[in-house]
Amino acid sequence: MDGPKRQCGAASGLTTVKNVVSLACLVMDKSTHSYLAFSGARVFTFTNRIHNVQEKQQRR
């Protein structure tokens, strides 16, 4: 969230993103939307090369 510019970014429905804060900042900076979910968020992560982890690695 960027208060002075009145911008925000959020994503949901993803379980394999390594750094969710980086994803939210990228949504705020590079998307025309402020909120992405599920398949749209997944496409956005692949398009912008966000690092994902496998679910087995995440649970450790």
| Tens-place pLDDT, residues 9-50 | 999 999 999 999 999 999 999 999 999 999 999 999 999 999
Its pTM stands at 0.81
Q: What is the dihedral of CA 54, 17, 41, 27, to 10 degrees?
A: -160
Coil, helix or strand for 23? helix
Position 32 scores a pLDDT of: 95
Indicate if the alpha-carbon torsion angle 23, 10, 60, 46 is positive or negative.
negative
What is the C-alpha to C-alpha distance for residues 18 and 4, in angstroms, rounded to an integer?
28
